[in-house]
Amino acid sequence: MKAIGKGPALLRLNNQKRVMAQLRKLRVTSRQDIAQRLSLSKNTVSLIIDDLLEHDFIEELGPVSAATAGRPKIEITLRPEKLKSAGVVVERNRIHWRVCDYFSQVIAEETLHTDTHHPTPLLAELAMVCREINNKYPDLLGIGLGFPGIIDPQRGWRHLSCRLGWQEVDLLTSLRKHVRLPIRVMNNINAAALLSVQQLRLVAESSHFYLRISESIEGALVRHGEVLIGNSWTAGEAGHLTVQPNGPRCSCGRQGCLEALVSQPAIKQQLAQRQPGLSWQNRDSAPRIVNEVMVQAGNFLGKVLSQIMLLLNPASIVIDCPWSAHAGFCEAVRSVTESDTLTFTYQHTQLHFLSVRLNPANGLALAVIEQFEQRIS
C-alpha cells in the first residue's frame, strides 16, 4: 500500500481504509457493492481494489451468476492471513498473547507465567515479548496491550490496578523505547467489549453493553465502534452497583455490591457454605443447591441490568460469564430484568448470554486493526 501523502494522496489513503473496513466486515463483496455502500465512484473503488490485488491483500473469487443482463459482478475477498495483529493480555502473574489474522482468527498463542507485582521488570519483560512476537511475524500491523484496572488509553497510563497492586505507571513511554510497531494500550474488558460486537455481528452504529463476570465484574459500553471510557476512565463499573444493602462486603470496601454477590469468588463461597466441598466444577452432585444459588445470582444481576437498560438504553447487553451455562440463572436474569424495566425499553433491548467466553487478546488484536482503519487527518 502507498505511503501517506497530502491532498489527493491522503484522500485516497483514507478511502482505502474505508474499503478495507468494508472488506473485513462483509468478508465477500464486489467493487460495485463497496462503491454503493461507501458512496464512492466505481473508478475510485476499482483503483483501490487493483492496488490491493497487486499487493496480494485480496483475491477475486469469480463472477456472480445473475439473471439480469449486463456485466456480472466479480466477488472479492480479503486474504486475512496477509494482515496480522497481536494482542498481549497482562493479568495477575500471567502474560497471554495471541497473533490473529484480519478476521480475528487465531494464528498463534502462548501463555507465560511470571511475577507481575513490580511494574519495571514486568514492562521490560513485556518489551521482550513484543520484540519476539514481531521477529516471528514481521508484517504485524501493531500490538495491543491490555491491563486490568483504570487505564487512560490516550496517554497509555495506568492509574490504578488492585489486582496487580500498581498505581500511576507510565506504560506506553517505556514500551515505545523498545518496540517499533504501533502500540495500543487499553483495559482488558474494553478490548473484550469491542470483540463482542464483532463476534455477535451486532449493528456497529448502535450502542452495546458488555458485562464480564470472572474474579471481578466489569463492563463497557461500545457505541459506533468506540468504547466510552468516561471522564475518569471508569465507565462501565457495573460490579460496584449496590443490589443488596447491608449485604456482604465487597473488595471496594462497600457492602452489597454486585461483585460481592455474583462474581466467581462469591459464588464459590456461597456453594461451599451450603455444602462443604461443593463447587461449580462438581455442581451436578447437588443440583438443588446449585439451582438456588444460581437463581439468586440471576435475580441480583437482573436488578443491575434493568438499571443499565434504563440509564444507557443500549441496543443489546452481552453477558460473558460461566453462569450462562445454567438455565435457571439465565431465566432469573431475564425475568427480573423484565419486571424491573419499563416494558418499552425492555422490548427494545436484546440480552445475549455467551456460551463461549471471549478472550481479551483477540479484542486487543482487533483494536489494533480498527486503529489501522481509522481516518488520518
Sign of CA dihedral 248, 254, 259, 264: negative
Ranges of the chain with pLDDT below 70: 1-6, 65-71
pLDDT (0 to 100) of residue 69: 57
pLDDT at 116: 93
β partners of residue 183:
143
| Alpha-carbon gap, residue 174 to 120, rounded angstroms | 9
pLDDT tens digits, 325-344: 999 999 999 999 999 999 99
Q: What is the pLDDT of residue 68?
A: 57
pLDDT computed for residue 64 by the predictor: 77
How confident is the model over 214-223, as pLDDT tens digits? 999 999 999 9
Burial (Cβ within 10 Å: 0-12, 13-18, ≥19) of residue 78 = buried
Report which of 294, 219, 308, 286 is spatially closest to residue 264, judged by C-alpha positions.
Answer: 294
Cβ within 8 Å of residue 206, ≥6 positions away: 223, 314, 315, 316
| pLDDT one-digit tens code per residue, 48-61 | 999 999 999 999 98
Quick one: pLDDT at residue 67? 55
Residue 63's pLDDT is what? 86
336 close to 302: Cβ distance less than 8 angstroms: yes
pLDDT tens digits for 223-266?
Answer: 988 999 999 999 999 999 999 999 999 988 999 999 999 999 99
CA 32 to chain centre: 31
**Rounded Cα distance, 78 and 359, in Å:** 24
Neighbours of 81 (CB within 10 A): 12
